[in-house]
Structure 1
């Protein structure tokens, strides 16, 4: 009897590790469904959200050109992501790039999992982040950039700026090992895109008549609809970055609501005090400012910290689009840097402070103090600004040499919709 029991025990010990491993490799259906919904929400942000928000801010003669750029660059990045993007961002490599081992996703099987959901869903979820990042950029130089130049620029910048930043922060690269906290893309998405947009605005040049003519949004209801789509989709952006339907996803969800509400109020009331009237455009801009600021912090700061970030972001964003833009003397058409750049920096630095357990956050890694974490956050911002800025400058230079960055003044005056795409948004 003892011999039989001993034999059974040895057999169980022999098969137990395999059984445990098998259990770990099975996707959780709830988490898998959660991640698919979050991915769909981010994709929803990328095409109608960005296109309507930016499109409404432009003059009516250029709205279709912007929408064409958004959906075309979205599709371009999807294809590049499958061919080489995912493996360079998330493959095992060095401090800055992954590897070429997973070209065309050749090593991913249907049953492969990442955490508790299928790896193929991880591929698409991360692709949606890449797509919305390049979509943000085109707002900086809208209404005068040549379509072919935009396409060429995106290929170069995506390859040499977005992919290494994604690997450095989320793929186990340099900034990850440094200890940078970027829950859902403060550096990878917002600062990264904002710097590229700012460089583009300088290099493409100001719109004809800028500073002499009033360039007013042609359709504020369209801006509002785009804002609402971005707001709803952002829950997939932030909550989905928890990679599971768990308590961190719940925290990110609530923080996104609270920070956004705070930013809307602070922007509107500050604008009311300064300009005498609260505006719908200000409320929409405040909404985006709050969403941007909470993005890197959503999974690590407490609810009070989220409110503080939102209130600060509303003021910072208003300063960015009114004061900083004037200082920089730049024609950033859709205020990409003023909102995404400034509020992205506010959010990343605020993450370093408000993650503190003493302030209601989830706490720092072992051995990390608030001062050290803020220093790490500042270093990650610096790396992102330099990396994205240099790559953007080179990419725009190449595009300029190959196809030319800007349309002629005559085409610009008549509008890009008719001249570049042969269409009109509105019948006259």
Structure 2
């Protein structure tokens, strides 16, 4: 066992896990006070569900013996056939690699929660995540990251999860948003901008485990990934800030946090393959694309992606995946078969990245649509108008972070609120 690299990957695994509560703070700070608990709960409980699914069969379906280049073969439940103590060629035990990949299986479904908060039923969401894991996530991991996967065989580059994680989560978010429809309550004031900043900082810290840890060794690839991660996030943050000033006259905290996140997403597939300038360019381009979609295209399309999970993760993930084919350099990663377009490699790698990105979008969109169409015939997808007005903190969990519902809200749906409030009395309105 290579003890140094094993320790490095263990630390990276903890950092990636840390991103999930960070995401809970990020999303929880953005929603209304009526949906804070539901949002944070929906992100965090995935930790338990995803770990059990991954241990039961997810790891072997993702990295087990190849079946047609699409999925792995299952030998036994709960890692029984995974040979956890056996060493890989790089000196890492299989168990450490399984643990590191487990963290990605947690954070990916948590990302698309941002598109559906405040209006999706918890029961539907749970069953969707389970089916999504088996029918979309595990096959996509095998296609891209297994040495025998079809997309890996095509030469698609994805250093740390541009296709597997961000495009996957973003397209899933878009599909769920389209089926759920628009919110009845409109846009509320964010609950806590301080939480948004805290969540962003935690995510940025965890992203070093996310990207640098994907080198699976304390080597130059990890150093490169850490540096490019920093530069891309910084360039994206500053770009969004300048766009905010140009559009509204003032820089905003939510803007710089969103911009940093877009840069982190955009650099993920390219982190170990590009130069410092390449990471700078990817950060800028990711933010330009996401800012344009969120502020100009999304309103025209009438898509209610609540917290812009597609606008940030989907759009920036697509840009980062494609631009990997333009900025990848053998001077940074000698193992590459060819340079990207801007480093003298011609169009080949860029076309491969375009094809891989397109396959990912199509696969996720089709399978997510099928899952929703089947599942909503079995269980309701969206909460009632009364529950949405009440807020899902009380309606789904019987807990409240903010004030109790006002009498005026209750009177809008008097019959439906019977049994919903439980022991909670409506807040009395002060006389004007």
Q: Which residue of 2 aligns with 1:73?
A: 46
Separation in 1, partners of 2:201, 2:44? 19
* Partner SS state of residue 71, structure 2: coil
Q: Return the TM-score normalized by structure 2.
A: 0.89
Moved more, 48-57 or 369-378: 369-378
Q: Which residue of 2 aligns with 1:152?
A: 127
Q: Does 1:28 align with 2:25?
A: no
Separation in 1, partners of 2:335, 2:63? 26
Q: Which residue of 1 aligns with 2:364?
A: 388
Q: Which residue of 2 aligns with 1:376?
A: 352
The alpha-carbon deviation at position 110 of structure 1 amounts to 4.9
Asked whether the 8 Å contact 2:160–2:210 carries over to 1, the reply is: yes
Change in 2 beyond 3 A, CA 1:362/1:216: farther
Q: Which residue of 1 aligns with 2:79?
A: 105
Q: Does 1:418 align with 2:394?
A: yes
* One of 405, 412, 416 as aligned partner of 2:381: 405
Q: Which residue of 2 aligns with 1:37?
A: 11
* One of 183, 191, 203 as aligned partner of 1:207: 183
Q: Does 1:314 align with 2:287?
A: yes
* One of 333, 340, 360 as aligned partner of 2:313: 340
Separation in 2, partners of 1:199, 1:133? 15
Change in 2 beyond 3 A, CA 1:237/1:367: closer
The alpha-carbon deviation at position 127 of structure 1 amounts to 0.9
* One of 173, 192, 202 as aligned partner of 1:229: 202
Q: Return the TM-score normalized by structure 1.
A: 0.90
The alpha-carbon deviation at position 121 of structure 1 amounts to 1.2
* Partner SS state of residue 380, structure 2: coil
Alignment of 1:207-356 (within 5 A): 207-210=183-186, 214-356=187-329
Asked whether the 8 Å contact 1:348–1:381 carries over to 2, the reply is: yes
Separation in 1, partners of 2:40, 2:129? 15
Separation in 2, partners of 1:189, 1:391? 15
Asked whether the 8 Å contact 2:23–2:203 carries over to 1, the reply is: yes
The alpha-carbon deviation at position 327 of structure 1 amounts to 3.1
* One of 337, 340, 351 as aligned partner of 1:365: 337
Separation in 2, partners of 1:187, 1:348? 7
Separation in 1, partners of 2:14, 2:26? 19
Q: Which residue of 1 aligns with 2:69?
A: 95
The alpha-carbon deviation at position 361 of structure 1 amounts to 6.5
* One of 184, 187, 193 as aligned partner of 2:160: 184
Asked whether the 8 Å contact 2:330–2:338 carries over to 1, the reply is: no
| Structure 1 residues without counterparts, runs of 5 or longer | 1-26
RMSD (CA atoms): 1.6
Moved more, 66-75 or 231-240: 66-75
Separation in 1, partners of 2:184, 2:129? 24
Separation in 1, partners of 2:178, 2:142? 28
Which structure carries more helix by proportion?
Answer: 1
Asked whether the 8 Å contact 2:221–2:333 carries over to 1, the reply is: no
Q: Which residue of 1 aligns with 2:144?
A: 169
The alpha-carbon deviation at position 263 of structure 1 amounts to 0.4
* Partner SS state of residue 112, structure 2: helix
Asked whether the 8 Å contact 1:302–1:362 carries over to 2, the reply is: no
Number of equivalenced pairs = 397
| Structure 2 residues without counterparts, runs of 5 or longer | 405-432
C-alpha distance after superposition, 1:85-132 (max 9, x if no partner): 111110122211111125321123453123222211111110111110
The alpha-carbon deviation at position 178 of structure 1 amounts to 0.2
Q: Which residue of 2 aligns with 1:3?
A: none
Q: Which residue of 1 aligns with 2:97?
A: 122
Change in 2 beyond 3 A, CA 1:361/1:274: farther
C-alpha distance after superposition, 1:298-353 (max 9, x if no partner): 00001111111112222222112112212321100110111111100110111001
The alpha-carbon deviation at position 275 of structure 1 amounts to 1.4
